[in-house]
Amino acid sequence: MTSRRLPLRLLALALTFGVAALPTPVLASGFQLTEQNASGLGNAFAGQAAGVENASAIYFNPAALTRVKGWNFVAAVDPIGLSTTFTDGGSTVPKAGPIPFPVPLGTTGGDAGKWIPVPAGYLSGQVASHVWVGVGVNAPFGLETNWDSTWMGRFHATRSKVQTLNVNPTVAIAVTDTFSIGGGVSYQHLTADFDQGVAYGGLSYAGTAQAVAGLPPVLQAAALAAVVAQLGGPSGLALEGPALISGSSDAWGWNAGALLKLGEQAHVGVSYRSRITHDITGNVTFQGAPTFSLPGPLAPIGAALNDAFANGAVKTTIKLPDTLSVAAAWKGERAEVLADWTWTGWSSIPTLDILRADGSDLSSVPLTFQDTWRAGLGFNYRFNDAWKLRLGTAYDKSPVQDQYRTPRLPDNDRVWAAGGFEWKISPKAAVDVGYAHLFVKDGPSNLPNQYSADSTPLGALVGTYNAKVDILGVQLSLHF
C-alpha cells in the first residue's frame, strides 16, 4: 500500500459518521404538521378540505375561501405535547468487527419530547363578485426532540430540530354558484439542526487499523501506537464528543383545490399541495475532536483522521412530500358530519445523503419512507347561535418501516381522539378551543451497528419506542 492510498481507505470508515434523518414526528405522520388551525382540531381535522368555513381554507383547500363572507382574519396556536421514551432490548456499543469501542453503553435517554407551539395566521377577503384573495403564514413541517447526551443511541442521534416558515398567497374563484376553484404559491424557509455523538477515540483506532491492514506487522504496531499516543494514552480510546449539523434552505411550491356544492347541505372538496424540493446548505462542527500530527510515513494517516473530523460546509437535498385530500361535509340545521381521505407522498425521501461541499460523502442513511394515507371522521352539533360542539377521530399511517426506524423519527401509526367547541362572541367574532390525544403504536428499533460493511460503527440500537401526543388549540376568528 502506498502512502497516497492510506487516507482513502481510512476515510471509507471514518468520514461517514451516520447523521440520521429528519427527526421525530410531531403530528401528522412523519414530521408533517396538520395542526394549521384550531377550529379543525376538535374534529381531528376530518373533512377540512370541504368543511372549513374560515380563512384557514388557504391551507386546507383554497377553493373553500368562496364560503367565507367579507374579510376574515384567523389567528391560531396549537401547542403539541410529545412524549417519547426508549426501552432497551439488547443495544450495544459501537464495534469494529468483533472489537467493541471502550465507551459506556449509556442510559435509555429520558423523555425526548417536549411541548412545542405551532402558530398559524390567515387573512382573506372578497375583492369582486366572484373573486377572493388571501394569504396564510404557517409551519407545515417541523419537530424538536432531545435525547440525553449520554444515552445508548447517542451515536445515532441526540438533538433534532426542524422548522419551516410557509407564506402562501392565494386566489379563489366562484366559477358558478355551485363550483369553485382556488390556488396559490408557497414560499418556504426551512432550518434544521441535527446533533449526535461521535466516538473519536474508537473511530481513530479502528480507522487506522483498517488503513494499515496490508502493511508489515511492525508498521501496523507503530501506527496504532502513534495514534494512541496522540489520543493521550489508552484512556483516550474512550474519547467522544458531539457533532453538530445545521443548515437552511429557501424553496417554492404551490397548492390548488376545487369545491363542489351538492344541493343545499353538502360539499365535496379536493385539495392538493405540491412537493417542495429543499437544497439545504450548512455546516458540520465536530466538538472536542482530536488533532493528529504523526511523523514520517505515518503522516497521511494523521491527515486522513484530521480530514474525517474537520469542520466545514455540508449540503443535502430533501424533497418534502406532496399531499392529496378528498373530503366531504354534510350540514343540517344543527348537526354536521365531515369525512376525508388524505394521501401523502413520503416516498420522495428514500435516503438522507449528507455531502461535504466538494461532493464527497459525509453520511448516507437509508430511510425507505412509504407513501401514507389518513382517514378522518368528524361531527359537529350547534346548540344555539353561540355554542357549537366538535368531535372527531382519525387513523394516520406512518411512512416509517420497522427496520429503518431511527431515534430521529421513531414514528408509527396512530389513532386520534379529539373534541372541542366554538364560542361565537358576536356575529363578527368567534373563539375555538380544541384538544386531541393521539394513541401511537409502540415502535420497534432494530438499527444495526453499521448500515453497511464500510460505514462507521454506531452501535446497535435495539429496543422499543413508546410515544404519546397531546394537542391543545386556541383560535380567534374576526369578520369585518
Nearest to 454 by CA among 242, 214, 238, 210: 210
Q: What is the pLDDT of residues 261-300, one digit of tens each?
A: 999 999 999 999 999 999 999 999 999 999 999 888 889 9
Nearest to 172 by CA among 162, 182, 187, 164: 182
Region 18-35: mean pLDDT is 54
CA–CA dist 369, 404 (Å, integer): 9
For 6-189+244-277+313-479, which CATH superfamily applies?
Outer membrane protein transport protein (OMPP1/FadL/TodX) (2.40.160.60)
| Per-residue CA distances from 83 to 113, 145, 314, 468 (Å) | 4, 9, 31, 5
Confidence of residue 29 (pLDDT cuts 50, 70, 90): low
> Nearest 5°: CA angle at 279, between 278 and 285?
115
Is the per-residue pLDDT at 3 higher than 60? no
Q: What is the pLDDT of residues 249-259, one digit of tens each?
A: 999 999 999 99
Q: Where are the domains of the chain?
A: 6-189+244-277+313-479
Is the per-residue pLDDT at 325 higher than 50? yes
**How high is the pLDDT of residue 454?**
78
Cell 467522544 identifies what position? 240
Confidence of residue 188 (pLDDT cuts 50, 70, 90): very high
Asked if 222 contacts 181 with a C-beta cutoff of 8 angstroms, the reply is no
453 or 70, higher pLDDT:
70
Compute the Cα dihedral for 150, 155, 156, 161 and give only its sign: positive
Region 358-363: mean pLDDT is 86
Is the per-residue pLDDT at 246 higher than 90? yes
| DSSP per position, 397-444 | --S--GGG-BTTB----EEEEEEEEEEEEETTEEEEEEEEEEEEPPEE
Asked if 223 contacts 212 with a C-beta cutoff of 8 angstroms, the reply is yes
Region 148-163: mean pLDDT is 94
Asked if 415 contacts 36 with a C-beta cutoff of 8 angstroms, the reply is no
- What is this structure's pTM? 0.89
Is the per-residue pLDDT at 78 higher than 90? yes
**How high is the pLDDT of residue 91?**
97
**How high is the pLDDT of residue 305?**
93
**How high is the pLDDT of residue 367?**
87
Share of the chain above pLDDT 90, in %: 80
Confidence of residue 4 (pLDDT cuts 50, 70, 90): very low
Region 99-110: mean pLDDT is 96
Asked if 402 contacts 368 with a C-beta cutoff of 8 angstroms, the reply is no
**How high is the pLDDT of residue 292?**
93
Is the per-residue pLDDT at 406 higher than 80? yes
Asked if 29 contacts 134 with a C-beta cutoff of 8 angstroms, the reply is no
**How high is the pLDDT of residue 12?**
33
Dig out the grid coordinates for 87 from the structure.
426501552
Is the per-residue pLDDT at 89 higher than 60? yes
229 or 451, higher pLDDT:
229
Average pLDDT of the chain to the nearest whole number: 91
Confidence of residue 9 (pLDDT cuts 50, 70, 90): very low
Confidence of residue 416 (pLDDT cuts 50, 70, 90): very high
**How high is the pLDDT of residue 127?**
96
4 or 417, higher pLDDT:
417
CA–CA dist 122, 468 (Å, integer): 29
CA–CA dist 112, 410 (Å, integer): 11
Q: What is the pLDDT of residues 426-480, one digit of tens each?
A: 999 999 999 999 999 999 999 999 988 878 899 999 999 999 999 999 999 999 9
Is the per-residue pLDDT at 379 higher than 70? yes
Region 12-31: mean pLDDT is 40
